[in-house]
Structure 1
């Protein structure tokens, strides 16, 4: 087995308690690719304001996320790794790591080095490219590879939002929920600061953005463009009419993030008489805090209290057999 496949996701605390959550949040929020402001300002903001004031709430959210098996993000990825190893039939060995927290990327690379693999394919588990996720992962692995003197050839799958097998896998989950039985479908993506989008694609600044309607020539790695393109592909494959779906963004930290915001869109749809909503979250291949707690608990509670009748989340790909088959195609 000379080839290695390394799966990398964002990460999760070791336990749902304050010390563990703090250890997880500190390197995560201090990453210059996540909060892209000057070093000193980032240190003061993260360590002096965000972590101290959000630690209690974040810990409570992780407590709600936790199961008897631990963090869904971790146990689903471990199961996915094991299934891929079985499915590979000796063609490659699969390793799993988290960009922040455990199991660490460094530990995975040391194991790969120990096993003398000559080729490493890295799959950051983010369908749409973003500097705060994909690029951060790539830079981290490049830096650690030099530090650990990894001699294997390393290549990256930088995004796969439009891969036919990814679309097929997610469509399977969407169709299982009978999307056309709902009043409306929301495709909700993790939000990003507008400045991060504009840094990669200055064409967004001072000009009318066309990303909502078509994939621009310059936008192959424009996060907003790839989110809308993912939606068009999934809607077409799921036979959802364009009048019956919307795109929105969740998990914002300020008003200067990509809009519309998912929670506000839900209230607008409810005011328009849409009482049964199906939510798809195609930026997440594994169910996590943003899907299980933010959408399936917080948004659902607010929607029902405001008069909605039903809000259903389409589960993510997790460790499903159709996702295993899709990854096999994507890495090849």
Structure 2
């Protein structure tokens, strides 16, 4: 087929907020060797006997809060983005939406693409900052499947876009809706990772001494921490923030041995310091999901006000806004 297939891949979502569907989703997600990179037996015991059985009911309650008339926001926006991007890019491309875990299944999308014999495939994992647990697992899965095809087509993998001007511009467009100057402080909150996963990228560099928090570094292209700080600096510069106007922190930690500073702790500290109004960006997500709508917009809001804050506002993610559709078009057509 003369069209180029474009696969937009996100992490996934349960089929429903029921405990059974959430349990299945968590099992698929957490049994991935790149997500929990522990020795095989320890991972299986930890995930299947401890984390999934105890976490599924709690997570199901959170997904029930997240679900709306469109179902899962992440799935809804993924479908909308694929449809709008198809219109934007035209008939030379065929846009597919897939999830690494859950539906629409990445494996099924690949089977469909193989059947239709595309000559070229562009793979875009929708994770701005590269991490082994996100872009890495998507890439490994796709390459393993395609390597067994009789005809292996031309492939292009876009493995990060954390500093792409179109991505930065899209978040700056979203920021313009919130009168950035009126807030006491701005936080860029990124999804955290275990420190051991960061160190695997550059074992010879001590993260505590690395300059990535204040400047771009040569090794930073595939270092998740360096990429997060660069994203924050670029968005901040685009919307006119000084270094004193904002801070960077990390959310969704499971243990203390994850990336810090932690967003929840930072919010408490800032509330106690007399900061009353905070605006939060979440630029590791391109669509609103559990981590933005529930963790930040609800849980962190309550936490901030409990300790003396008055207003915490989440900047809406890129979702299916026109600025992001154009951004994706540029990322796909301009990336080398």
Same fold (TM over 0.5): yes
CA gap 1:203/1:17 in 2 versus in 1, 3 angstroms: same
Q: Please tell me whether residue 185 in structure 1 is matched to residue 186 in structure 2.
A: yes
Q: Indicate the residue corresponding to 1:58 in structure 2.
A: 59
Partner Cα separation in structure 1 for residue 8 and residue 119 of structure 2: 17
Residues 248-257 or 236-245, more deviating: 236-245
Q: What do the CA deviations read for 1:39-73 (whole angstroms, capped 9, x no partner)?
A: 10000000011011111111101101101110000
Alignment of 1:277-296 (within 5 A): 277-296=278-297
Aligned to 1:322, the other structure's residue is in SS state helix
Contact map agreement 1:2 1:116 (CA 8 A) in 2: no
Residue by residue over 1:86-106, the C-alpha shift from the partner in whole angstroms, topping out at 9 and shown as x without a partner, is 111212000010000000111
Gaps of at least 5 residues in structure 1 are none
Aligned 1:214-253 pairs, distance under 5 A: 214-253=215-254
Aligned to 1:301: 302
Q: 2:12 maps to what in 1?
A: 11
Q: Give 1:156-171 correspondences, 5 Å limit.
A: 156-171=157-172
What does residue 317 of structure 1 align with? 318
Structure 1 residues 188-208: Cα deviation after superposition (integer angstroms, max 9, x where no partner): 000011110001111333861
Change in Cα spacing, 1:206 to 1:187, as seen in structure 2 (3 Å) is closer
| RMSD over aligned Cα atoms | 1.2
Instruction: Spell out the pairing of 1:1-332 with structure 2 (5 A cutoff).
Output: 1-149=2-150, 151-205=152-206, 208-332=209-333
Contact 1:188/1:281 (8 A) holds in 2: yes
Deviation at 1:209, TM superposition (A): 2.0
Q: Distance in 1 between matches of 2:151 and 2:311?
A: 51
SS class of match (2:244): helix
Q: Residue deviations 1:149-187, cap 9 Å, x none? A: 452222110000111111001100012111110000000
Contact kept? 2:272, 2:308, Cα under 8 Å: no
CA 1:206–1:128: 2 relative to 1, 3 Å = closer
Query: Match of 1:203, SS?
Result: coil
Distance in 2 of aligned mates of 1:143 and 1:297: 39
Equivalent-residue separation in structure 1 for 2:146 and 2:301 (angstroms): 43
Cα deviation per residue 1:252-279 (whole Å; 9 max; x = unaligned)? 0000000000000001111111110000
Output the TM-score relative to the length of structure 2: 0.96
SS in 2 for 1:243: coil
Q: CA deviation at 1:116?
A: 2.2
Q: Is the 8 A contact 1:120 1:154 kept in 2?
A: yes
Secondary structure of 2:250's match? strand
The alpha-carbon deviation at position 306 of structure 1 amounts to 2.3
Contact 2:130–2:224, Cα closer than 8 Å, also in 1: yes
Secondary structure, counterpart of 2:221 in structure 1:
coil
TM norm structure 1: 0.98
- The answer to whether the Cα contact below 8 Å between 2:26 and 2:52 also exists between their aligned partners in 1 is yes
1:148 Cα offset (Å): 4.9
| 1:21 to 1:149, Cα distance in 2 relative to 1, 3 A | farther
